[in-house]
Structure 1
Amino acid sequence: MTMVRAGVVPGRRAAWYGVAGVLVTAGICGIVVGMFGVNRVFTGLLLGVAAGISLLFLLFGRDGVVLTDQSIVRRTPWSASTLAWDRVVAGRFALDENARWSLALDLNDGDEPHHELVLLSIPPVVKPIGSAYDMRKREQVNEIRGMLRSKRIPITVLPEIADALTLHWRLAPPTR
């Protein structure tokens, strides 16, 4: 079974996750200081930061989109919904409103004529791979394109994006 993990956490939700991490950090620090005295501030901060970071990893790890052979699963920390592949009209690799490259699926929602599911949002590629982040994003782009190709979903790629992917990341342009 093939499975590709993707998805973009919206800014508002990411901000709420950050607030939750800070609140957990402050709460645990306050509890430790309240129970053991002001001399344990550093211990409280250390435990609070560890718990806050753990919470952030949990929240961000649960949030995303998983593409499988059978369906597309949209997940948040509190829920999950499944979309059938037959709802996908096309894939699109274009510029988004923040001048980032966005790989999205166009969905047919029946009542709503057009709905978008963003799978990936990356800064424009202007140089060869120089970090682990670049390598991971290249792998994600390749995995998502492979999954869409296997499902025979047409992908539209802006020419400047296709050129940069070919030149810098050595990804072949779509065949159709």
Structure 2
Amino acid sequence: MTMVRAGVVPGRRAMFYGIAGLLVTSGIVAATVGVFGLNRLFTGILLGVAAGVGVLFLLFARDGVVLTDQSIVRRTPWGAATIDWNRVVAGRFALDEKSRWSLALDLNGGDEQHGELVLLSIPPVQRPIANAYDMRKREQVNEIRSILRRKQIPVILLPEIAEALTQHWRLAPPTR
């Protein structure tokens, strides 16, 4: 069974996660100082930062999209929704409103905002792979394209994106 993790956390939800992390951090600092006194401020800060980072990690790790051969699962920390592959009209690799490259699925029916599900949002590729982030994003693009190809879902790709992916990341252009 093939499973691909993707997904973009919307800005509003990311801000909520950040606020939750700050609240946990400040709560633990306040509780530590309240119980043990001001002499344990540094200990409270260490414990609070560790707990706050842990909360952030858990929230961001739970939020995402999982593509499997059977369905697409859109997960948030408080639930999950399954989307059938027969709802996917096409894949689209284009520029988003922030001049980043966005790989999204166009959906028919359902209640998703604007009928799309954003899988990736990456900065434009302008050079060969230079670091682990580039390598991971290249792998994700390749895995998503493979599963879409197996599901026979057409992918609309802007020519400049196709050229950059071929030239810099050595990803072959789509065959259709």
TM range (shorter): over 0.9
Aligned length: 175
Q: 1:111: Cα distance to partner?
A: 8.8
Counterpart for residue 83 of structure 1: 83
CA distance in 2, matches of 1:16, 1:53: 14
Counterpart for residue 163 of structure 1: 163
Q: 1:54: Cα distance to partner?
A: 0.4
State how 1:1-176 maps to structure 2 within 5 Å: 1-109=1-109, 115-176=115-176
Which string of whole-angstrom CA distances, capped at 9 and with x for unpartnered residues, describes residues 51-103 of structure 1?
00000000000000000000000000001000000000000000001100000
Which string of whole-angstrom CA distances, capped at 9 and with x for unpartnered residues, describes residues 18-75 of structure 1?
0000110000011011111101011000000000000000000000000000000000
CA distance in 2, matches of 1:134, 1:110: 33
* Structure 2 unaligned regions, length at least 5: none
CA distance in 1, matches of 2:39, 2:115: 55
TM-score (norm: length of structure 1): 0.97
CA distance in 2, matches of 1:122, 1:111: 25
TM-score (norm: length of structure 2): 0.97
Q: Percent identity?
A: 78
Do the aligned partners of residues 31 and 153 (structure 1) sit closer, same or farther apart at CA in structure 2, a change above 3 Å counting?
same
CA distance in 1, matches of 2:60, 2:111: 31
Do the aligned partners of residues 139 and 111 (structure 1) sit closer, same or farther apart at CA in structure 2, a change above 3 Å counting?
closer
CA distance in 2, matches of 1:111, 1:10: 17
Which string of whole-angstrom CA distances, capped at 9 and with x for unpartnered residues, describes residues 120-163 of structure 1?
00000001111111110000000000010010000011000000
What amino acid is aligned across from residue 108 of structure 1 in structure 2?
N
CA distance in 2, matches of 1:135, 1:28: 37
Q: 1:110: Cα distance to partner?
A: 6.3
* Structure 1 unaligned regions, length at least 5: none
Q: CA RMSD in A?
A: 1.2
What amino acid is aligned across from residue 11 of structure 1 in structure 2?
G
CA distance in 2, matches of 1:61, 1:111: 24
